[in-house]
Structure 1
Amino acid sequence: MSSSQENSNGPPSAAKDAVLVPSVEMPAEAIEVSGIDFNKFHDKPVTAEDLYEGMKSAGFQSTSLCQAVDIINEMRTWAGPPLPDSPPGTSPPKCTIFLGYTSNLISSGLRSTLSYLVQHSHISAIVTTAGGIEEDIIKCLHPTYLSASGFSAPGASLRTQGLNRIGNLVVPNKNYCSFEDWVVPLLDEMLAEQETALSQPVEEGDARFTWTPSKVIHRLGSHLGTHPSTSPLAHTSVLYWAAKNNIPIFCPALTDGSLGDMLYFHTFRSSPRHLGIDIVPDIRRLNTISVRAAKAGMIILGGGLVKHHIANACLMRNGADYAVYINTAQEFDGSDAGARPDEAVSWGKIRGDAKTVKVYLEASVAFPLIVANTFVKGAREDKEDEKME
């Protein structure tokens, strides 16, 4: 048969077989792809829960985001069996939840969401960067603004105006001047306490007083609520609520920001010794929290130091039980920031049977929707249960 005759009778059989490879039967538990039917909401508002229900089977990052909701809900509701020799009535152990975030998120409006979690003690410990400390304080003094030119505002022009750009946000230099006025007298107090403690005799077996980043941060947070310039807005602060609720905030890179500038300037006015800040007790404290955790969960917004510092603490207990990463970094360059959870499994920082997800979304978009469907929803349900009792 000629090729012309074959073509006249239909497509070549080899081509047809290649295109239409027979498919297997899909398993009964397979989930159909579907999205949100907004026709259902013409006469009622769309809630965060409605979005979650509609997005979880939409695929791509919608599904990943909803997996993060499911994992975090399991983190926050897990309760283990009573510990041996626990007194009657002792609450069962809960999951220890580590929260990590980069400083840009405090600069953004996501600070309100992070503050809510700390205010209501939904998390156990925090790791952030220096900007995550100072920007939180600065917002109690002066606001941060949206840039009129968005991400395209020219740096040279902003520099001549004394304005600093963080993405599409703008922070006036005045904010940092006010921060210096606020923090330097406190550094003086802390140095005086250090010098008084160092002048006292040390009894055998006693540890000599030392400042650590977490102690410094606790003092800063407490000071927010008492200083007249910051107390009116202290309730918006992550540091304030962390100090009030005794939630430790760790910042091993405490000097990498405006706070480091202030500590540098302070060395020229302090005598005979400078303020000493020891990072070693903090790594012992963070790792001990991890080791003693009945279950451990990580919620990491962004990458870099905050991501690895929490993951490495979880190595001390042979890995976290839950991990939710939210960032846009890619893994092709081998950076820890872009690494998926399975890479941490190879190091023992996440358990092999842990429940994990990486959400490839910018956190200011993803995290409010996640929090609305986890901690906020859970708090509302708890109140409803209390009314029923």
Structure 2
Amino acid sequence: MDSKSVKKLLRIYKNSLFEGRNVYLACKEIAKMTKYKVFMALTANILNNGTYDLLFSLIEKNMVHVVVTTGDFVVYDILRTLIGKDLNEKAFTAEDEETIKNFIGQIALENCGATIPPSKFIKIIGEKLGFNSILGQAARNNVHFYAPTICDSLIGIYCTDIHVDSLKDVYNINYECFFVKKTGAIILGTSVIKHTVLNANLFKNGLNSCVIVNTCNEVDGSDSGGDVDEAISWGKIRGNTTSVKIRADPSVIFPIIGSYWLSKV
């Protein structure tokens, strides 16, 4: 979406009700983050050709500084970069699995016996893929990628010759919040990615700004369903913020808020 279309849409949402109004408020919140250290959390299934390019641009322009995702995101980026595979259009095949097996197997062989955290392993993958990939751009711009559940994917199946130290990354991502004046977060989705970002910011007395997008509710009794108020009660988001949660499909909302964010460059 171009900036004029986004701004026109937001003028409509400004006087809307329910989640439309929250989309407007979320964009206003994101505008504050241009001078913050920004954390982003998202799952692999949010990505398609359009949103892939959007995230690529955000990382290329250094608007995101820390990303928390899943092992499948890494798999997606490998397949898209090496063989042009779009998993939203074509089903996963045995050929795709062989591509992952060979690529990851070669990296594992080169680092045989090493003990490394997932973030370092992802950086190695990015350097191998090159600058046309999201992970390659992240490695180039020193954007740190974390995948707490990286072994819950094909990466875990074929990464057999090295030791993945996930505990080290707990320290690493928490340390991202030390000695930082202001942090912001955009959380697209639920579960581990959401908790990891919020919990890390507990170590700096909470996020200064946060936008959460998912379809879960507080009545679930889950971390995923937790509202902004719940995070404030734990000190993960500061109480004096105007952080907002949008109860909607992240794949629908991300193109709007992401395009608005890019217009702030």
Asked which structure has the greater CA Rg, the reply is 1
C-alpha distance in structure 1 between counterparts of 2:68 and 2:4, whole Å: 34
Question: 1:310: which partner in 2?
Answer: 197
Task: Determine helix, strand or coil for the equivalent of 1:369.
Answer: helix
- Contact 1:95/1:296, CA 8 A, preserved across alignment: yes
Q: What letter is aligned with 2:125?
A: L
Query: What SS class does the counterpart of residue 175 from structure 1 fall into?
Result: helix
Following superposition, the deviation at residue 72 of structure 1 comes to 0.5
Runs (5+) with no aligned partner, structure 1:
1-44, 77-93, 148-168, 195-209, 226-233, 267-273, 380-389
Q: How does 1:273-284 map to 2 (within 5 A)?
A: 274-284=161-171
Moved more, 349-358 or 183-192: 183-192
One-letter amino acid of the counterpart of residue 174, structure 1: E
How far apart in 2 are the matches of 1:350 and 1:343? 9
Which position in structure 2 is the counterpart of 1:61? 19
Q: Within the alignment, does 1:105 sit opposite 2:46 as a pair?
A: yes
Tell me, in whole angstroms, the C-alpha distance in 2 between the residues paired with 1:46 and 1:378. Answer: 12
- Normalised by the length of structure 2, the TM-score is 0.93
- Partners of 1:146 and 1:307 lie apart in 2 by 23
Output the CA distance in 2 between the equivalents of 1:316 and 1:343.
Answer: 17
Tell me whether 1:351 sits opposite 2:256 in the alignment. no
Residue number in structure 2 paired with 1:223 = 128
Q: Quick one: distance in 2 between partners of 1:352 and 1:312? A: 15
1:377 to 2:263 alignment: yes
Specify the alignment match of 1:230 in structure 2.
none
The letter of the residue matching 1:132 is F
- 1:62 offset after TM fit, Å? 1.0
The alpha carbon displacement at 1:109 in A equals 4.2
2:142 corresponds to 1:258: no
Per the alignment, in what secondary structure is the counterpart of residue 126 of structure 1?
strand
Greater share of helix: 2
Q: Would the alpha carbon gap of residues 145 and 333 (structure 1) be closer, same or farther in structure 2, given more than 3 Å must change?
A: closer
Whichever residue aligns with residue 311 of structure 1, its letter is L
> Among 270, 278, 285, which residue is 2:172 paired with?
285
Instruction: Write out per-residue CA displacement over residues 174-217 of structure 1, whole angstroms, 9 at most, x where no aligned residue.
Output: 2222121222111100116x3xxxxxxxxxxxxxxx41111100
| 1:249-291 Cα deviation digits (max 9, x unpaired) | 111211011111112xx3xxxxxxx411222332222111112
**1:39-54 to 2 correspondence within 5 Å?**
47-54=5-12
Correspondence for 1:25: none
Q: CA deviation at 1:146?
A: 4.6
Q: Aligned partners of 1:304 and 1:347: how far apart in 2?
A: 17
How much has 1:110 moved relative to structure 2? 2.0
- Whichever residue aligns with residue 139 of structure 2, its letter is A
Give the Cα separation in 1 of the matches to 2:53 and 2:98: 24
Taking the aligned partners of 2:224 and 2:50, their CA distance within structure 1 comes to 23
Contact persistence 2:48–2:88 (CA under 8 A): no
1:331 matched to 2:218? The reply is: yes
Matched with 1:341 is 228
User: In structure 2, do the counterparts of structure 1 residues 145 and 352 end up closer, same or farther at CA, with 3 Å as the change threshold?
Assistant: closer
Q: Deviations over 1:334-360 (max 9, x none)?
A: 111111111011111111112211111
Match of 2:32 among 74, 93, 96: 74
Picking from 126, 130, 145, the partner of 1:249 is 145
Offset at residue 116 of structure 1 (A) = 1.4
C-alpha separation in 2, matches of 1:123 and 1:275 = 29
Q: Does 1:240 align with 2:240?
A: no
Given candidates 35, 42, 58, the residue that maps to 1:117 is 58
The one-letter amino acid of 1:141's match is L
Structure 1 residues 184-195: aligned runs within 5 Å? 184-191=105-112, 194=114
Deviations 1:217-258 (A, max 9, x none): 000000002xxxxxxxx51x2211100111111112110111
Whether 1:139 and 2:80 are equivalent positions in the alignment is: yes
What secondary structure sits across from 2:238 in the alignment? Answer: strand
| Stretches of structure 2 lacking an aligned partner (at least 5 in a row) | none
1:371 deviates by: 1.6
After superposition, what is the alpha-carbon deviation per residue over 1:25-49, rounded to whole angstroms, capped at 9, x for unaligned?
xxxxxxxxxxxxxxxxxxxx97221
Residue equivalent to 1:174: 95
TM-score, length basis structure 1: 0.64
Could you say what secondary structure the match of 2:263 adopts?
Answer: helix
- Paired residue secondary structure (2:201): helix
Q: Secondary structure at the match of 2:204?
A: coil
The one-letter amino acid of 1:243's match is A
Q: Which has the higher contact order (CA 8 A, sep 6+)?
A: 2
Give every structure 1 segment of 4 or more consecutive aligned residues whose post-TM-superposition deviation is greater than 6 Å.
none
- Count of residues paired in the alignment: 262
